[in-house]
Amino acid sequence: MTEANGIRLADPKVASEPAPQFESPSVNDHVVNDRADRECAEFQARMPERIGAGEDLQSDPHMLTCERCRSLVRDLEYIAEAARQLIPTEEEPQSDLWAKIELAIERGEV
């Protein structure tokens, strides 16, 4: 970079370099992307019922090849674990709870 009147100017050597060329996607790339998108959509559409049934999605063949769906499942598992930690677990009442209640009733404490 050079500077003139307090304004930074692009380095003339860099400015004269040709811009990088990118290949435009081919028709085959679109076909592959469409198929991958369709597979992801099908996998994700079945996810709620499969999770509800207790299936292990990590062993699904689609998960072995699709980083997008692996990432989604990881995020959902993280959210589910965080939610479980927010909800208090139900505890079983003490085994002598009913006896204590009956005793309190007999004494007229309740």
Closest CA to 44 of 65, 79, 68, 78: 68
d(CA 10, CA 4): 11
Q: Residue 104 above 70 pLDDT?
A: yes
91 vs 71, more confident: 71
Would the pTM of this model clear 0.75, i.e. be above it?
no
Domains of the chain: which residue ranges?
Answer: 27-89
- For the ranges 1-5, 36-40, 64-68, which has the lowest average pLDDT? 1-5
Sign of CA dihedral 30, 57, 80, 53: positive
13-50 residue pLDDT tens = 544 555 556 565 554 555 557 888 999 999 999 998 99
104 vs 91, more confident: 104
